Structure 1
């Protein structure tokens, strides 16, 4: 079990303990820079040992960890990709780009030391440690997001129903009272600030369904039936109909609280606002606008789905990376590989958000004149990458068809990433998560297939045509 003994090294086990304790206790007790960076240090020590169970090459496991961590923490694109991956596995999650986290990269040296001095352990220890390490890494607590105004609690008061709005998990921003579901007046008195999952008016009771925009009702203690609901597909689209100011501003869209009085029912639906049933039994949704409950803030249920505005740019970056990788598998020289690596960096410089790029440059990583540094770097990198790749491509003399295959792969990769989200926006794909899975699967299959073709059939062209053998 020597290959698997790295995960049982005392340093690795210590990193596992620190990661669990820090994420689930210390971060909440003493939030700050130290506890924030401590998880990164522990994760950088632990993750290579877990990867090595599959890769079986310590240097490769450490390299993959370092490169992946750098991409996620140094670029919005990498953080976006990691957030999407975590969201598929654990629900809505946010991973933020933070270049200061790169200061924890020396922790990889500790991982290297552990790999160089493995401790023999039994199979049982490995079997027990592996799932614990995987869960500790994947379930690491995300940044606490700021939540824009949403309706989160209701209560019966003063002959009407109060709806409470809040802007984050700790502070109630405003509360409004309604007696007819049409007019709303700001309530300045005390509020209970606790969502009410069920409510009764006489023998007529209602309850919310967790995770859904849905309310059930029961009369006289009878069976529960659906009183009002929005389909899961429409709800999935509404979740993304309320774009926050920042990507990390997650907004829940689900029924959180319900209150009822004779002739009126009000449901708090998170960022979607409220749902109201009047005396005639008619349901309608009312949105939130400028911290007020207002019909002007209501998004129609047939509105197109809104995917991340950064998706086309991120898809272009991925397409460039895949296209260059396909060319690299066909032109297998060290020089061309270096050119591909420089090309990836150049793609990030060109496709990174301009505000972030300018902040990095003006923060001291460029010459005295930031704008000149930005322009020079942005032009020099792609030109250097192009020159390196062309030079070594000419030297390697690959088949002429490899270049169009690489370009076609890049274009198709962008298309197969965007197409599922466009289909979701149009209602052809039921949920955003399914569109994400389709994009990942299609782009992976396309890139892997093209790389296999170029890698298998890229026999270099002869230096001259028609020359007799041996001359």
Structure 2
């Protein structure tokens, strides 16, 4: 068997040991003892395990020794590229294959590259060994080691969320103190002028219970409580009403909403806060802690709003969202707007592009069918756009994988969609079987269909409608209404021009 030597390489005791070390280190040692040693162990073990697996693939096409050398060199080059800056794209792809994962860019990890020498030594031993015998034990060693080696390579550690967010808010004498990004910051006003105080104690998050309810110093019956009390990342149980504060003036007998981010705009706000590997962190998208302090003329309320910064109630009773910024440490947490024309509708734009390509196919097919009816040929004019539509789906999927950390970026998907529709347009306009001066009618109808679908989503970005769900239904209805236009454009494109003499479908029979 051509790949037999690579199976021996993958089942070599050194490779098997590297596999076991990689699995244990990523999922047992790292969580228990995070640090420099466990961080580098994964790199060393991965560089031992990866070349045999890559060699199995390359060995199908190359000579054994060439494939082994290529496997080692490609593994080393890929490792260096990732650690020097391409980790984000790799994390996105791995998260699609394996669920939420993270690959970190760290040039210091290049110290693990000599581990490739260990992998090459295992190859030399495997190449010099006799072929794998037919014994049951040898076969089981290969069967067991290979799946675990593949699992160890793909099952990376869970992503570490470094998204900046206001985790807590508390009073400290004359200043308001917040915890954000693992540090404590203070401000006399609680609105601006934030200054770094110290690193947050490692045990503060576990030992300190968040203050989800607080009362006014001058009136014990006047209290506030946050909407995000007890929220977890397992699900949104309040229908998007996570940013908000309730208020009571009768000691808790009745509560009313004092301030909140409208539930109808929750999804628009949430889409503007992308998280690593696309993993939604509801605990950072909620009001989690409240502080009430006395000031001349009444009291002020400060609410920790995670990635949205702070919500503040002034002494006069007015509420506002405020950013938390400290240029000295790079802290920059800002609330996002409730409306913004064309923002974060990448999903609608990508769907509109696929609908436009589908409309191109329908219009081209109608035109080609009419040509075939008249001339006995022409239906093949629709084949190129049909093939391209088939390929556009995985192309869009690849863009989604690599652009996952961009959330639903309108810009990313606008560029992608424009390129796809432009290629589809070229395939239609250059068809020799169709009347080229008329093919722009099909293109115009197809583009109209795509724009019709995305129009309600554009309205949603400016608040009409407030909810997102109706935009999808409305977009489908309007796009479907454009179908007769697409069919009419195709019919007209395939029609015979009365001023042009068209050859019959077969040569006339000469008369004797």
So what's the TM-score if we normalise by structure 2? 0.45
So what's the TM-score if we normalise by structure 1? 0.48
